[in-house]
Structures are given as C-alpha cells and as structure tokens.
C-alpha cells in the first residue's frame, strides 16, 4: 500500500467554479492489481485542465447531451499522462506510458478502453505534450479544422480563444494550408503570442473592442470563409454577419456560455440561410479512429520545429483546482497543464 493524494469534487456547481468547490484528501492505494483482473495501476505524471470539464460539474440532467457529471465526494477525472506501475491487462506492462482518462490523484486504477486510453510510443517529444498537442486538444484541432472545416488554400480563417490549447494549433494548421488567419484573445500578451510565436497574420484583444462586428470587418474586409468557434455568444453573432457565402463554422466550444445560468441567444441566424453557411458541432471522440493518421502528420512538423506549442504549467497536484478554475477567467497562457510527478 501507499498513500494517494486526491482532488475531490465537493458538490454540483452553478455559475463560475471556485477553488472551494474542491477538497484535498489523502487515502491509500494497493500497489498490486487483483489477480485475474484486466485493470492497470498507473502513476499520474501530468493532468490536463480543459474547458469541457465545466460541463461535468453541473447537476446531472437526463435530457441533456452533456458529458456525464462528476460525483460529489469522489475524485474528479480528465485527461492525463501516466506510467504503468502494475498491470493485469495484456496490452500494458510495467513501465509503459499512456495518455487518457484518469482520476485527479497521484495513482489511478483504470481499465484501459479503446479511444479512452492510448499507449505512448513516441518519447522523443515532451511527455506533457500528450495532454495537449499530441493528445485530446491536438486531435480536436486536427479533426475540427481538416475534417469539419474542409479548408482550401487561400481561404480566410478566424479562430476565437486562439491562444488556448486548441486555438494555437488551428491557426498554425491554417497557415500551413496557405490560409489567411486572424485570432482573438483576451490580453495583450496573448495577442502578441499569436502574431510573433504562432504566425497568425493578425490578432486582436476582444476585451478592447466595443464593436466585435466592426473589429471582424476590419480584420476581414473580404469576409470570413472558416470560423473555428471556441467562444459562442456575442462573438458568434458578430461572426455570422461577417461570414462569406458557403462559409463553414466548426463549433468546438462555447466558453463564454458555460458558467451562465441562462445562456445568451444568437440574433444573426438568418445569415445562415442567405449565405448558405454550414455550422457543425463536433466532439473529438468521434474522430479518435484517425489518431494514428494525426500522429503521422504532426510528429514530423514538431521534430522539424514547424509547429510551436505553448504550455502554462502548474506544479503539484495541490495547484490543480486553481489551474482549472483559472481557465474560466482567462488566466492561462497556452495549454494549462498540472505536473503531478515528473517521473
């Protein structure tokens, strides 16, 4: 047996989540897996903080298509990078590395499942990348841009929340396609990052714009062909007015709406008809069958330094609630990662 620190979900959340919505506890874990079971004991190295996790914090609603809610009094869970300590599963042995769904704790007992856990084969890149660039957010950017948006060279692309885990990659993929790319973010530091580090053609701070429709018109005098949607609300309204004929909108997230009791309406929907706009929501798990194809595409670009990825690292499991809550206030610069252990 050994001790196991855990981040416990206290109770269902309404409005913005707070650090006080989580507790810390120390329990014990058996370092052996039961005889004959297919379970795997892993030591968690890195945990991923992601906006979708907010949807698991509300009361369960049977009529909703949202992700399954966290259970009060139990550890929360999400994507992480882990090392196998003991295994009863034929596909995993001691010392293997994997990424996938684990508890927010030092050690987790998991039953590996296809499209929920992935063995890590490439270790010549930072392991933390499997919480972001080489994990769920990277796959989200890849599937959303290439599969949902059907981009063509020379098109205009707008990315909201562009410096986040997904947005920073969508912009770089679009530039590699030969598109004109503009991103928005919520601080000068993030806007500078978009232009200097990620190679966006232009970027703006949405908090400094009193008229988002005019801001987009300024950045896209000839209109928007593709919008990668991470924000929703007033931003989506402004985009619809600026979309071109046969424009495509990939709806990845709507972070401006997650903490509202009553979500905002969208008013400019008639543009969808006359401009023949296609709006498609998507969930990354629908595309995990393309993960090996994604790795073949992205790994050479990483090794050649053609793709840049910025992480915001919080050190220690005790920093995890603060890091997660900070996402909803725009405190992270780049992909928010929590280091539980480096080895």
Q: Token pair for residue 50?
A: 């992601």
Q: What is the pLDDT of residue 93?
A: 94
Question: What is the tally of helices (H) and strands (E) in the chain?
Answer: 8, 15
Q: Return mean pLDDT, the chain.
A: 93
pLDDT of 271-300, one tens digit each? 999 999 999 999 999 999 999 999 999 999
Q: Considering only CA atoms, which of 118, 115, 110 is closest in space to residue 285? A: 115
- Rounded to the nearest 5°, which phi and psi values hold at 252? -95, -40
pLDDT of 136-187, one tens digit each? 999 999 999 999 999 999 999 999 999 999 999 999 999 999 999 999 999 9
More confident residue, 30 or 63: 30
In this prediction, residues 124-138 reach a mean pLDDT of 95
In this prediction, residues 26-44 reach a mean pLDDT of 92
Q: Check if the beta carbon of residue 120 is closer than 8 Å to that of residue 127.
A: yes
pLDDT band at 256; cut points 50, 70, 90? confident
Q: What is the pLDDT of residue 71?
A: 93
pLDDT band at 263; cut points 50, 70, 90? confident
């Amino acid at each position: 047996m050994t001790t196991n620190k855990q981040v416990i979900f206290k109770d269902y959340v309404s409005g913005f989540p707070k650090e006080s919505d989580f507790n810390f506890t120390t329990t014990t874990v058996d370092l052996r897996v039961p005889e004959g079971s297919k379970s795997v004991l892993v030591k968690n190295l890195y945990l991923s903080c992601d906006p979708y996790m907010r949807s698991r914090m509300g009361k369960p609603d049977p009529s909703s298509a949202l992700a399954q809610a966290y259970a009060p009094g139990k550890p929360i869970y999400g994507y992480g990078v882990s090392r196998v300590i003991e295994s009863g599963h034929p596909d995993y042995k001691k010392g293997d590395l994997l990424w996938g769904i684990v508890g927010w704790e030092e050690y987790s007992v998991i039953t590996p499942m296809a499209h929920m856990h992935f063995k890590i084969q490439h270790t010549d890149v930072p392991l933390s990348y499997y919480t972001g660039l080489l994990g769920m957010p990277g796959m989200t950017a890849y599937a959303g841009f290439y599969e949902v948006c059907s981009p063509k060279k020379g098109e205009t692309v707008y990315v909201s929340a562009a410096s986040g885990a997904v947005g920073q990659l969508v912009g770089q993929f679009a530039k590699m396609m030969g598109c004109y790319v503009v991103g928005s973010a919520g601080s000068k530091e993030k806007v500078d990052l978009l232009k200097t580090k990620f190679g966006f053609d232009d970027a703006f701070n949405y908090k400094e714009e009193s008229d988002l429709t005019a801001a987009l018109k300024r950045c896209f005098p000839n209109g928007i062909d593709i919008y990668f949607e991470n924000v929703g609300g007033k931003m989506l309204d402004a985009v619809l007015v600026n979309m071109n004929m046969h424009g495509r909108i990939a709806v990845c997230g709507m972070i401006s709406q997650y903490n509202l009791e009553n979500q905002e309406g969208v008013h400019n929907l008639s543009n969808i008809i006359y401009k023949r706009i296609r709006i498609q929501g998507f969930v990354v798990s629908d595309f995990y069958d393309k993960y090996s194809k994604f790795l073949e595409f992205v790994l050479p670009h990483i090794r050649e330094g053609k793709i840049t990825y910025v992480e915001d690292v919080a050190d220690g499991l005790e920093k995890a609630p603060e890091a997660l809550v900070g996402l909803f206030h725009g405190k992270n610069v780049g992909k928010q990662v929590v280091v539980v252990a480096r080895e």
